[in-house]
A and B are shown apart, each in its own frame.
Chain A
Amino acid sequence: MSKLMLGIIDATTYKEEMKDLTFNRSIAAVPFAGRYRLIDFVLSNMVNSGIESVAIFPKYQYRSLMDHLGSGKNWDLNRKRDGLFFFPSPDLPVPQIGSFQHFQQHIDYFLRSSQKYALICNSYTVCNMDYEAILQRHIENKCDITQIRHQGKSLNMFILETSLLLELISTQQQTGYQSIIDVVHDPTNQLTICDYEYSGYVAVIDSIESYFLHSLELLRPNIWKQLFLKSRPIYTKVKDEPPTRYMNGSNVKNSMIANGCIIEGHVENSIIFRSVKIGKGTVIKNSIIMQKSQIGDQCQLNNVIIDKDVRISDGTHLFGTKEQPFVIQKGTMQGALMNS
Chain B
Amino acid sequence: MIRKKCVAMLLAGGKGSRLNSLTKNLAKPAVPFGGKYRIIDFTLSNCTNSGIDTVGVLTQYQPLELNTYIGIGSAWDLDRKNGGVTVLPPYAESSEVRWYKGTANAIYQHLNYLKQYDPEYVLILSGDHIYKMNYSEMLEYHIEKKADVTISVIEVPWEEASRFGIMNTNEEMEIIEFEEKPVHPKNNLASMGIYIFKWSILKEFLEIDNCNPESSHDFGKDVIPLLIEKKKRLVAYPFKGYWKDVGTVKSLWEANMDLLVEEPSLDLFDHFWRIYSVNPNEPPQYIAPSADVKESLVNEGCIIEGKVEKSVLFQGVYIGQETTIKHSVIMPNTVIGENVYLEKVIVPPNMEIPNGTVIYAREQDDVILVTEELLENLKGREGGQR
Contacts and interface: CB of A to CB of B under 8 A. Distances in A.
Given A243-B313, A253-B289, A224 B296 contact: no
B284 interface: yes
B285 A242 contact: no
A252 to B, nearest CB: 5
B111 interface: no
Contact of A254 (B268, B287, B296, B312): B287
A109 interface: no
A183 interface: no
B234 interface: no
Interface stretch (A6-14, A184-192, A257-265): A257-265
Interface residues of B, number: 35
A224 B286 contact: yes
A196 interface: no
Interface in A8-66: 33-35
Given A242-B297, A243-B313, A248-B294, A235 B286 contact: no
A236 B280 CA distance: 11
Given A243-B34, A243-B299, A262 B284 contact: no
A247 interface: yes
A244 B269 CA distance: 10
B283 A234 contact: yes
Contacts, number: 102
Interface string A261-272: 010000000011
B285 A256 contact: yes
B250 interface: no
A199 to B, nearest CB: 22
B284 A256 contact: yes
Interface string B286-304: 1111011111111110000
A306 B146 CA distance: 55
Interface stretch (B90-98, B178-186, B189-197, B270-278): B270-278
B198 interface: no
Contacts of A256: 283-287
Nearest to B76: A240
Nearest to A233: B281
Given A247-B294, A257-B284, 20 more contacts: A33-B283, A35-B300, A228-B283, A235-B281, A240-B274, A242-B275, A242-B297, A243-B35, A243-B314, A244-B285, A244-B299, A245-B269, A245-B296, A248-B294, A253-B287, A255-B287, A256-B284, A256-B287, A259-B300, A262-B269
